[in-house]
Amino acid sequence: MLEFAVELFSDYTARTILLGAASLGVVSGVVGSYAVLRKQSLVGDVMSHAALPGIVLAFMIVGVKEQLPIFIGAALSAVLAVFVINLVTENSRIKTDSAMGMALSVFFGLGLVLLTYVQRMPDANQAGLDKFLFGQAEALVEKDVLIIGLTGFFALSVVGLFWKEFKLLCFDPDFGGTMGFSIKALDMLVTAVIVSAIVIGLQTVGVVLMSSMLIAPAVAARQWTGNMGSMVILAALVAAVSGVTGVALSAGFENIPTGPAVIVCVSVIAFFSILFSPNGFFTLKFKDAQSRREIRKDYVLKALHDLALEHDDPGYAHSERLLALGSERGFNVRKSLFALQAAGYVESVGEDNWRLTQSGIREVKGLSPLEKNR
Amino acid sequence: MSPHQLDIQLVAVIVAASCSIPGAFLVLRRMSMMTDAISHSILLGIILAFFLVGDLSSPFLIIGAAASGVLAISLIEAVNRSRLVKKDASIGIVFPFLFSVAVILLSKYARNVHIDTHSVLLGEIAFAPFNRLIVSGMDLGPVSAYVMGSILLLNLLFISFFYKELKVSTFDESFASSIGFRPRLIHYLLMAVVSLTCVGAFDAVGSILVIALIVIPPCCAYLLTDSLFRMISLSVLFGISAAISGFWAANWLDVNIAGSMAFVCGVFFLVVFLFAPQRGLFGIMREKRRQRMDFAEASLLVSLYNQEKGEAVKNHPDSRGMFRSADFASKVVGFLKQKGEIAVTGGGLFLTERGRERARMTVEGR
């Protein structure tokens, strides 16, 4: 594996491909953040599927598998799908989700029809057109990477130029409107940027899974930060790393299509972030359990103290069973007692009896009134 | 029409009908994109079940794969419930992941079985007639027709058994739970039915185009009726017609059948979207035009009425100046004259008795 990696990074072709994957990652990470923040993740899904008929049509018109026409065809048909969604939702009672489902399946269906039509044509030129379905990074050549870089540069420049405006669009478009920004124009611009990111990913990741390349890095980044700038940078990083890893995996092992490999990498990072980031699922669960333990310990401490005071002796010992009887919550009193013992607040006396130590008594007195009444 | 073609159409029709039925509820519940999630996720279930069972048409495989659809939905809901990820993004990260894992497994370990990455996307309804059900030497037709037929039957049973529960929980979830209908249970049952249908349809139309058959026919029906029962029946009708015409279109052009069925569904929707009597684009435009004309007529009549009563309208002494163009004004006058509500004498406009009555009713509101 290591040998393979060394070989990969020293080989010129491999470097070209990895550079392409990395730049694609940077662009889709940045741009995808806007799709996610604007709750338009699924629009990305529709657009990437909808690019298929454009790709095939461009090929049918131009007759060769030329990069630029295919990009333009893909972009046009993706934008057309968004236009159709808006047309349908604005002029009928069809809701957005249904309109998206329809646009996605009809465009993709048309794409497959065209694809099967082209594949019947006698010349072999169209071979590899179906690589656009699941992506194939190995086919990337220098020129492709150059176009990826240029398109990506365009997309990133737009994001940089309209940073403030896009931020407004994500978080408070109504306020943006009152400030005199044309929300419609900004919306179109963001769509254009998203489309250009999708288009450059088609060759590497494929139409079927490209949307995930936009969504997952942004979702992952969002878990670690609440700052827009950091989120965008982090998303770019996540996507670039996944892109490179996925491409390397797909090249290194037989029969692994590039798109799925990249998406598995990026999804694993996203799920890891959701579970283990500082505000993540397990982290919160862990913190929850921790504070619950604290509360129980305070409760046991106080119960021991209250019971002991009935005997006018703060150090009077009581059995665990009595404590458990007094606790209405039915939790494991012994666990809390052991924890308190470890902290030196209680000590066990003979048969299962427990009493407060001096420092335990001090600790009870130190509990805030709120905690005491708990 | 050869028996082979007849068999393909038979399977296509059954698939389309079984997709439309739960589809109507998905569209009404605004969960159309859940179909996208389910139809992608079941692939993993199909492949894992296939590794276990080794037979693509075993009922165990179908049930196992359907379970994976429901699992995917619960996973999406769990991610969404954690409040760390918005609903749309939850859908968008869960199913591509499951789908990617499935595609990798498929291309790595299942190279030589019936399913490959192409049939995942394209479906293989063209091969449906080759796998036949033969009982004691008698050819009873394609196996997939029986498999899909059972699923159709199940869908029909499901909606007839839970019709009112589905209806109430679709339109008013809180009311449904207040009268004890358990909308969450209904939700999961519906998801299970959708998953099962997707698994069944997978053979015929693949992972992605099943969305077309589930979402589009109900959308067409939704623009044509307000009754749930009629919507479901119309969806089935649309689905079946799309399946048959899609097949013939594909046959004629010699292209992929599933893609062609999806595209024909889209054409159907376009037609309905444009020409539906009340909710179609042209219908809405006609209605708007009618309202505009109605309003213009009433305004002119009221203006004349006020002049008669001596409450002169200063800005528009002859009332025609109130309209945005002379053209439009003469159109309005023409219509009113035709209806006999005004008379034009010597260049001036006068109310007839009928016109006065309408103006009075407009002003007084009765």
Partners of residue B215 in chain A, C-beta under 8 Å = 98, 101-102, 105
A95 dihedral zone (left: phi>0; alpha: psi -120 to 50; beta) = beta
pLDDT more than 90, % of chain B: 39
**Residue at A3 is within a domain:** no
Mean pLDDT of A80-101: 93
pLDDT at B355 (0 to 100): 87
CB B71 within 8 Å of CB B12:
no
Q: Cα separations (Å) of A311 from A81, A305, A361, A372, B349? A: 80, 10, 15, 19, 106
| Residue A241 CB contacts under 8 Å (≥ 6 apart), including other chains | A25, A265, A269
B284 touches chain A (CB under 8 A): yes
Domain closes at, from A247, A279, A311:
A279
Single out the residue of A69, A81, A38 nearest to residue A195, CA to CA.
Answer: A81
Please give the DSSP secondary-structure letter assigned to residue A254.
Answer: T
Residue A309 sits in a domain whose CATH number is: 1.10.10.10
**Residue at A2 is within a domain:** no
Same-domain check for residues A130 and A81: yes
Same-domain check for residues A259 and A296: no
Number of domains composing chain A:
2
pLDDT at A64 (0 to 100): 74
Cα of A20 to nearest chain B Cα, Å: 21
Q: Which residue has the tokens 């159109």?
A: B331
Assess whether pLDDT exceeds 50 at residue A172: yes
Same-domain check for residues A64 and A76: yes
B361 touches chain A (CB under 8 A): no
pLDDT at A248 (0 to 100): 86
B254 touches chain A (CB under 8 A): yes
Single out the residue of A210, A159, A211 nearest to residue A186, CA to CA.
Answer: A159
d(CA B184, CA A353): 48
- At A6, the pLDDT band (50, 70, 90 cuts) reads low
Same-domain check for residues A263 and A295: no
**Residue at A312 is within a domain:** yes
| Residue B30 CB contacts under 8 Å (≥ 6 apart), including other chains | A95, A97, A98
Assess whether pLDDT exceeds 90 at residue B58: no
Partners of residue B258 in chain A, C-beta under 8 Å = 109, 112
- At B205, the pLDDT band (50, 70, 90 cuts) reads confident
Assess whether pLDDT exceeds 70 at residue A5: no
Single out the residue of B224, B205, B218, B268 nearest to residue B20, CA to CA.
Answer: B218
Same-domain check for residues A367 and A247: no
CB B230 within 8 Å of CB B223:
no
- At B318, the pLDDT band (50, 70, 90 cuts) reads low
- At A374, the pLDDT band (50, 70, 90 cuts) reads very low
d(CA A75, CA A47): 9
Same-domain check for residues A227 and A316: no
Same-domain check for residues A19 and A110: yes
ipTM value for the complex: 0.87
Mean pLDDT of A40-56: 91
CB contact (8 A) between residue A117 and residue B266: no
- At B366, the pLDDT band (50, 70, 90 cuts) reads low
- At A3, the pLDDT band (50, 70, 90 cuts) reads low
d(CA A190, CA A31): 8
Count contacts between A and B (CB, < 8 Å).
212
Helices (H) and strands (E) in chain B, counts: 14, 4
Single out the residue of A106, A45, A110, A115 nearest to residue B213, CA to CA.
Answer: A106
Q: Cα separations (Å) of A371 from A61, A295, A340, A344, A367? A: 76, 8, 16, 20, 6
**Residue at A288 is within a domain:** yes
pLDDT: which is higher, A269 or A342: A269
Assess whether pLDDT exceeds 80 at residue A174: yes
Assess whether pLDDT exceeds 60 at residue A125: no
Same-domain check for residues A227 and A260: yes
pLDDT at A264 (0 to 100): 94
From the number of C-beta atoms within 10 Å of its C-beta (0-12, 13-18, 19+), residue B56 rates as: middle
Of B245-249, B269-273, B280-284, which range is least confident? Answer: B280-284
Partners of residue A113 in chain B, C-beta under 8 Å = 250, 253, 255-256, 259-260, 263
**Residue at A364 is within a domain:** yes
Instruction: Give the tens place of pLDDT for each residue, A216-253.
Output: 999 999 999 989 999 999 999 999 999 999 988 888 88
CB A36 within 8 Å of CB A28:
no
Own/partner long-range contacts of A118-126 (Cβ < 8 Å, ≥24 apart):
A118/A56, A118/A59, A118/A60, A120/B254, A120/B255, A125/A63, A125/A64, A125/A65, A126/A59, A126/A65
| Amino acid found at A93 | R
Phi, psi of A164 (to 5 degrees): -60, -45
Same-domain check for residues A121 and A142: yes
DSSP secondary structure of B248-298:
HHHHHHT--HHHHHHHHHHHHHHHHHHH-TTTSHHHHHHHHHHHHHHHHHH
- Other Cβ atoms less than 10 A from the Cβ of B123: the count is 29
**Residue at A212 is within a domain:** yes
Assess whether pLDDT exceeds 90 at residue A78: yes
> Residue A372: how many CA atoms within 13 Å on its side-chain side?
10
pLDDT at A25 (0 to 100): 92
Mean pLDDT of A181-186: 88
Which domains, and CATH codes, for chain B?
3-278 (1.10.3470.10), 282-364 (1.10.10.10)
| Residue B340 CB contacts under 8 Å (≥ 6 apart), including other chains | B352, B354, B355
Pairing label, strands A346-349, A353-356:
antiparallel
Please give the DSSP secondary-structure letter assigned to residue A346.
Answer: E
Full domain range(s) for residue A344: 283-372
Same-domain check for residues A290 and A363: yes
Phi, psi of B349 (to 5 degrees): -105, 135
Cα of B143 to nearest chain A Cα, Å: 25
Residue A87 sits in a domain whose CATH number is: 1.10.3470.10
Distance of CA B221 to the CA centre of its chain: 7
Same-domain check for residues A269 and A324: no
Partners of residue B97 in chain A, C-beta under 8 Å = 212, 216, 263-264, 267, 271
Taking the model in full, what pTM does it have?
Answer: 0.85
Mean pLDDT of A180-200: 89
Domain closes at, from A232, A253, A279:
A279
Mean pLDDT of B211-229: 95
pLDDT at A157 (0 to 100): 94
Residues B128, B130, B133, B137, Cα dihedral to 10°: 170
Domain closes at, from A279, A311, A341:
A279
Mean pLDDT of A178-184: 86
Instruction: Give the tens place of pLDDT for each residue, B78-108.
Output: 998 888 898 889 999 999 999 999 888 888 8
**Residue at A1 is within a domain:** no
Same-domain check for residues A230 and A358: no
